[in-house]
Copies of this chain bind each other. A is one copy, B any other.
């Protein structure tokens, strides 16, 4: 397959060369419009393949480049901050949805669908909670050409939509637990710069809202759900996460306490919140007057939880696994797990030989499909194998299978791993077993690599002077912390960096101060309650826990 490899290299070189000009244009335009127009002009489409900036050199541009060229999203030019999720992205979301839905159904959570609008009235019931969302509410004020008597807002989340009905439906302990989930989209009209998946003005998610008789029953569910969220990251997306509790500053507005799983992006050393499962306590049941008679006929306010997982997970997966060739998909969420490319057929190949070979290819496809592999045969005319290799690498297909006359002669198929680039052959007789096994190996290796990176960049520090240098060298840190909100604010101020580390192309690495990511459930040793001080030198309080801090999204 050397010639094919050569073609691949050349195709990529050529493409990148051709793209340089367009790329420059694109980046300018992107800076201006905050939208990369790469591929925007019809005529460029067949030329511009491959990623035109390096992940290390300009991470944010690289990310925008990948999500567009791998056809995960399209920018919605009509309204800024909105994105179109294309089939490649919806397949990942669909795989997550099926996995999660099956498990919450087994827990007894039922599906419901509530309206997308809230009235001003119901918003006023829960000020504390709403204040956080108020600046981002999208208000409908007109229907047709008539002004609405009562303006309505598009839900940013559904507590205020749902809980008045919980009050109506829940009358006795017999009606508990009430556990409803909905899959929908919500709108938060962000003022900050938006980014596909990570911060969009509309995003898809699931929101679960449950009601329980006791704090214990509610708390049990909070952690069961958090474990499912961690499972989505670790088992499907090959993204390791740290499970823990949010500090007062970072918990859900109006809630009791928030559990979270936190991921890590090695390229810039930033932490990123994965998903949160909230214990709401009785705050909302008191606001919305949700009471029941318990077994002893006493009126008690119920205990509530809410929990949500959004399409942000896809962005985390892209940032973590992608490389300079483009997207890298974990096999378990890939729409195409293996692409089968006929090679070595030239204009000189006799028609009957071509036909014979392609029938062998078809046979291969059938065998793999029967083995449960999501396989696609790339039979496109007018494209060199090299072009096809680069195209499928860009789109992140985990495994490439090349099959040419030489392979046929020695009854093997040649494969190339997307994650490592490693190449080898598999005897045709074994593909039904070895290809699925290889896909699982890729899944595991992706996770292990990311896990290794996270573990080696999660520094346990007891010396304040080492904190900022640690952040500057792309670590997150675990430090003894008093858990005080004011202290946390001060720490954020004190950890802004003067050192502006700069990438090859002059792109600055983040220098913002650090936020608390979570108080990990798994605590390191060495913290003596009543003795160990909060690490902040300007704080005199005692440390309550090892808390994980980092620059973050």
Contact = CB atoms under 8 A, between A and B. Distances in A.
A144 B134 contact: yes
Nearest to A154: B140
A343 interface: no
Interface string A488-506: 0000000000000000000
Nearest to A179: B87
A78 B135 CA distance: 22
Central interface residue in A91, A143, A168, by most chain B CB within 10 Å:
A143
A202 interface: yes
Nearest to A84: B114
Contact of A83 (B45, B115, B121, B204): B115
A79 to B, nearest CB: 6
A307 B185 CA distance: 22
Contacts of A187: 116
A84 B162 CA distance: 9
A391 to B, nearest CB: 13
Chain A contact-residue range equals 35 or more
A113 interface: yes
B76 A115 contact: yes
A464 interface: no
Contacts of A87: 110-112, 180
A136 B140 contact: no
A139 B137 contact: no
Contacts of A74: 165, 168-169
Interface in A257-302: none
B79 A150 contact: yes
A44 to B, nearest CB: 11
A315 to B, nearest CB: 15
A231 interface: no
Contacts of A380: 174
A171 B111 contact: no
Contacts of A93: 113
Nearest to A174: B380
A103 interface: no
A119 interface: yes
Given A85-B113, A204-B113, A136 B144 contact: yes
Contacts of A229: none
Contacts of A118: 78
15 contacts: A74-B168, A74-B169, A76-B114, A78-B161, A79-B115, A84-B113, A84-B115, A85-B112, A85-B113, A86-B112, A116-B187, A137-B144, A138-B143, A140-B140, A184-B185
